[in-house]
Copies of this chain bind each other. A is one copy, B any other.
Amino acid sequence: MQAYNALERRFARLAALGHALSILSWDRSVMMPHASNAGRSDTLAELEVMAHELLVDPVVAGDLAQAEAAPPSDPWQAANLAEMRRAHRRATAVPAALVAALSHATARCEMTWRAARPQGDFALIEAELTEVVARTREAAIAKGEALGLAPYDALLDDFQPGLQRAHIEPIFATLSEALRPRLERILERQDVPLRPAGPFPAERQREIAINLMGRLGFDFNHGRLDESAHPFCGGNPDDIRMTTRWDEADVVTGLMAVLHETGHALYETGLPFDWRQQPVGRSGGMALHESQSLLIEMQACRSPAFVAFLGPQLRAAFGDDPALTDANLERVYHHVHPGLIRVDADEVTYPLHIILRYRLEQALIDGTLRVADLPEAWNAQMSELLGVTPPNDGVGCLQDIHWPAGAFGYFPSYSLGALLAAQFYEAAHVALPELDADLMEGNVEKLVDWLRANIHSRARSVPFDQLVTEATGAPLGIDAFVRHVNRRYPTS
């Protein structure tokens, strides 16, 4: 066990660097004065290099081989050792020069993107994005070779271990087939909601949010809620840093972002405390993470049962506006609108935004789509999948930071998370027949307990497929999500 113990010690040090990086990143988004960004970026980069050096240190290969020769009998330790091997394999797969080239390419491209998006000018970013795609492709090939995966699968594996193109392809194909005809009928059938007009004082919205977070089990002795340009859940399991953005003209977005991020937070805080410094103790991947945020926001808190609990609070805080009746709030929370912007999309059209990106990023990485042809391909897909065409690239293929930042293979997690959320929620509903009645009282404790037992507490101790199958009785699929859409969005 000496080699294994040395590895645990090394990964605890990596966890300390991770802790520092997570708080420093939160601080950058929430607290840091803007002009201090250059120095902060240097520091973050230096800590990341230190973490990388800890992983690729030649000592690690020897310790891994020695530990694997007499593997630990404890299943968590064994799973931890496998995660260590995985981390080492990924870190050593890409030559240092390519890591540096990719890092510089994405830093430049991301900076240019910030200027190009508001101008809607793809030409500004084309050369730099071409460079990012080229380097990402090289890295994907190198990682794929190390992991025995195809290049795009190696990228997917970065974000959700255990999910590959072979799983996703049929899922997305049947999902788009299921959604597109339904979408038209939903649009014909749905009632247009009254828009709540406000103003909705930020302080009041915040009070409601804090109260809901508390009900959901967020522990303010181990976390905070602040504001940032884009809501996120950062920090670490012992010290969660959640953010949202308050808009006094909008009572929906800020609060729903809080519920969404609270789902992420609950996952992090539900991870096993004793393993918090080890790779096996981390969350199971981005699709699983997104499943937890969407389960809380979309499945539980936008349900009619929970709206019956939330509606009276909104009316007490903001007055008896006819736009704040339970019935109208449901219409607001369930309004479907095929639009141009992913982050503004409802849960029915959202997967179509993702399928578009999934198709295009594969083509970019495979080399069958040139970056120069991206705007045209994007607009064609938008038209085919959603029936809308961007008037400029700023609201088209420039809308997301992911590709300029080099995050290819990330997008599928969003919609796989939505599918998983529906599947988990259905299973929880079976296990907890009184769930709707509980939600009407704002009581989510049993639901969170179910998530803790079936998902959070397992961390990475079992593979993705096993976790999903043991929790829901079936591997990841689209059926629960389609049933959810049919239930919530009637077409007749």
Contact = CB atoms under 8 A, between A and B. Distances in A.
B39 A238 contact: yes
A153 to B, nearest CB: 34
Interface stretch (A25-33, A75-83, A468-476): A25-33
A53 to B, nearest CB: 10
B31 A20 contact: no
Contacts of A329: none
A224 B32 CA distance: 8
A379 to B, nearest CB: 40
Interface string A12-43: 11001101100110010001111110111011
Interface stretch (A100-108, A215-223, A361-369): A215-223
Contact of A224 (B24, B33, B224, B238): B33
A341 interface: no
Contacts of A46: 12-13, 16
A227 interface: no
Contacts of A40: 19, 238-239
A40 B236 CA distance: 10
A409 to B, nearest CB: 29
B47 A20 contact: yes
Contacts of A13: 46, 50
A411 to B, nearest CB: 31
15 contacts: A13-B46, A16-B43, A16-B46, A16-B47, A17-B47, A19-B39, A19-B43, A20-B20, A20-B43, A20-B47, A33-B220, A35-B222, A36-B239, A38-B238, A40-B239
Interface of A: 12-13, 16-17, 19-20, 23-24, 27, 31-36, 38-40, 42-43, 46-47, 50, 219-224, 236, 238-239, 276
